[in-house]
Structure 1
Amino acid sequence: MIEVLVALLLFMLGVLGMVGLQSSMTRAQTESKVRSDAAYLASELIGRMWSDLTNYTTYNGSGCATQTRCKEWQTKVANSLPGGLGAVTVDATTGNVSVTVSWTMPSGDTHQYVTQTTVAKAGS
C-alpha cells in the first residue's frame, strides 16, 4: 500500500512539473509574439514614412498630432499590443528617425522596442 502511495506521489510531482513547464512555455511564446509584432509595427511606420517623404518630419513626437498616417499607426499599436504605445523622433536636419514601441505584459512587465534609421530624400 505504501509503495502505491509513493508511486502516486512521484506521478503527481511529474504531472505538476509538466504543467509548470507548459505554463512557462506559453508565457515565453506570448512574449516572443508580442516582441515580433512590435518589430513589425516599427518597420511598418518606417515604410509609411518612406512612402511619404515630403511629410516625414511631421511624424515627430509621441502624439503625431498633425499626421493622419502616424495617428493610424499609433491606433494600430494600441490595438495590437497590450498597453501598446508608439513614439517617433525625427531629426529634420539629418533625416535620422527613431521609432520606439512600448508595451506592458499582463504580468506587469514593461518592454520596449527601439529602432533607428535614416529617412531622407535622395540628394538632400
Structure 2
Amino acid sequence: MNRLPNTTARAQAGVMLLEALIGILIFSLGILSLVALQATSIQLTSDAKYRTDASLLANRLIGQMWASGLAPAVLKTKFENGGDEYNTWLTSVQGNDEIPPGLPGVVAASSGVDSTLPVVNVFNDGRVEITLFWRTPQMATSGANSSHRHQVFSQIVRNP
C-alpha cells in the first residue's frame, strides 16, 4: 500500500509543464490574433482615407461646375477630360500641398500609388458623372479587380 502514492506522483510528473505549455500556446494565439486585427484595422483606415480623398476631389470639381453658372452644353466642353476648366482644376489639385500624396486620380509619381486620371462625363441635361480610379501600393498591379473606383453623380442646373 505504500507504493500507491509513489505511483500516483510518478504518473503526474510533467503535467504542470504540459499545462504551462498549453497556457502559453493559448496566450500566443490570442496575441497573434490581436496583431492581425491591428494590421487589418490599419489597412481599412488607409482605404477609408483614399475613399474620402476621392469624394473630396469629386466634390471640389462639382462645386466649380456649380459656381461657373454655365449651361450644360458649355459645361461639357469645358469640364470633360481635356477641357480648359478640367485641366485648370487638375493642375490646381496636383499643385496643392494641403492635399496628401496618394490622392486618387492626381498622384505624384513618388507617392507609390498607381492611378489614372479622373473621368468626367457631362450630359446635355446637366447630369454629371465623375469616376476616379486608384490602386494602393499594397494592391496587385494587374488584374480586373486590382483597382478601387469611386463614382459621383450630380445634376447641374441653372435657374432661368
With normalisation by structure 2, the TM-score equals 0.64
> 1:66: Cα distance to partner?
2.7
- Contact 2:93 2:106 (C-alpha < 8 Å) held by counterparts: yes
Pairs within 5 Å for 1:45-84 = 45-54=61-70, 56-57=75-76, 58-61=78-81, 64-67=82-85, 68-72=87-91, 75=94, 77-79=105-107, 82-84=113-115
Structure 1 spans left out of the alignment, 5+ residues: none
Relative to its length, the structure with more strand (as a share) is 1
- CA positional deviation for 1:42: 0.8
Judge conservation of contact 1:48–1:69 (CA < 8 Å) in 2: no
Contact 1:96 1:116 in 2 (8 A): yes
- The offset of 1:56, in angstroms, is 2.6
Matches within 5 A, 1:28-43: 28-43=44-59
TM (norm. structure 1) is 0.80
Report the Cα distance in structure 2 between the residues aligned to 1:73 and 1:107, rounded to whole angstroms: 28
Measure, in 2, the Cα distance between the counterparts of 1:89 and 1:104.
22
* Pairwise CA distance, 1:107: 2.9
Does residue 44 of structure 1 match 2:60? yes
Superposed displacement of residue 38, structure 1 = 1.0
- Unpaired runs of 5+ residues, structure 2, are 1-16, 95-102, 140-145
Q: Given that residues 119 and 132 in structure 2 are in contact (C-alpha distance below 8 angstroms), is that contact kept between their aligned partners in structure 1?
A: yes
TM-fit CA distance, 1:105: 2.1
Q: Matched residues, percent identical?
A: 25
* 1:73–1:90 distance in 2 versus 1, CA, 3 Å: farther
Q: Which amino acid aligns with 1:86?
A: P
Query: Which structure: larger Rg?
Result: 2
CA distance in 1, matches of 2:22, 2:34: 19
Number of paired residues? 120
